[in-house]
Structure 1
Amino acid sequence: MTITTCQTAILPDLNVPVVIGYFQSLNAGDCQQTAQHFAPYGELHPPFQGGIVGVEAIQAYLEAEAQGLTCFPEQATVQTAGDGCQLVQVRGHVKTPYFSVPVTWTFNLNSHSQIERVEIRLLASPEQLLELQQFA
């Protein structure tokens, strides 16, 4: 297993095109393109939600819930297995029109460089999460 760490504002040294494409298309508001980065059976696990499974379901979810979000990936760690699958962990923050919150994204990529699963976790304290409730 190879471990690579990089730290930049836009992560140009990440060298995992599907993850970079995910952030670029999501930040551009292109939910269809973002969903296309997933395997047909791919899963999106947003905070406080069950898993969203399948490209069409992920696109519909993003169109309903991700408008106006901007992701700022700041640090990434990549682990590559011998079979070509990768685990990519990214720390950064998400900005909405109402607030900004620190998050981690954990991407599981298959050997075809498709997202099998991405889990998004908020890194906010319980007090910060309570403050965010007013915007929900």
Structure 2
Amino acid sequence: MINSSLQIAGITNPTILDYFNTINQEEFIETANLFNENGVLYAPFESPLEGKQAIASYLEKEAKDMKLEPKQGISENLADNLELIKVTGKVHTSLFSVNVRWEFTINSSQQLEAVKIKLLASPQELLKLNVKAN
């Protein structure tokens, strides 16, 4: 577990805190290790990434120099001993900042089953992001 003073209103789950801390510290293998063996990352504009190696490789390529700023979250229990945790906040890069919602599905062993990352931006804002990134 990574030590940090990161606080997210409404969220105390250590796996979620570790997710944000490891990405912000660019410890992408540690981030991937939070997932179970068949864990899936649903990143914007990408096909689903399944498995720890695919997730670590993607993060190494795409998440360098990103700073995640989670603000608040809620959790709810699902069937099959799963928990859904939704966190809203911002992602900052050198080119842009964008509002984001992360949806984490966690199993009873506190491993990530899936993480869905949703950009909370209008189509016009998304077009501006695409122009800046190219």
Relative to the length of structure 2, the TM-score reads 0.90
1:130 is matched with: 127
Deviations 1:70-110 (A, max 9, x none): 11111100112475321000010100111000010000111
- 1:42 matched to which residue of 2? 39
2:108 maps to 1:111: yes
- Compute the TM-score of the two structures, normalised by the length of structure 1: 0.89
Unaligned runs of 5+ in 2: 1-5
What's the counterpart of residue 96 of structure 2? 99
Distance (whole Å) between structure 1 residues aligned to residue 75 and residue 124 of structure 2: 31
Where relative contact order (Cα < 8 A, 6+ residues apart) is larger, the structure is 1
| Residue 65 in structure 1 maps to residue 62 in structure 2 | yes
Q: Cα RMSD (Å) of the superposition?
A: 1.5
SS across alignment from 2:130: helix
2:3 — aligned with what? none
Change (3 A) 1:112 1:46: same
Q: Residue 123 of structure 1 aligns to which amino acid in structure 2? A: L
Helix, strand or coil at the partner of 1:41: strand
Partner Cα distance (1:37, 1:29) in 2: 14
1:25 paired with 2:46, answer: no
Number of residue pairs matched by the alignment: 128
Tell me if the contact between 2:9 and 2:72 (Cα under 8 Å) persists in the aligned partners. Answer: no
Runs of 4+ in 1 over 6 A off after TM superposition: none
**Aligned-pair identity (%):** 38
Report if aligned partners of 1:43, 1:116 keep a CA contact under 8 Å in 2. yes
CA distance in 1, matches of 2:95, 2:33: 28
Q: For 1:132, what is the secondary structure of its paired residue?
A: helix
Structure 1, unaligned runs of 5 or more: 1-8
2: CA distance, partners of 1:94 / 1:45? 16
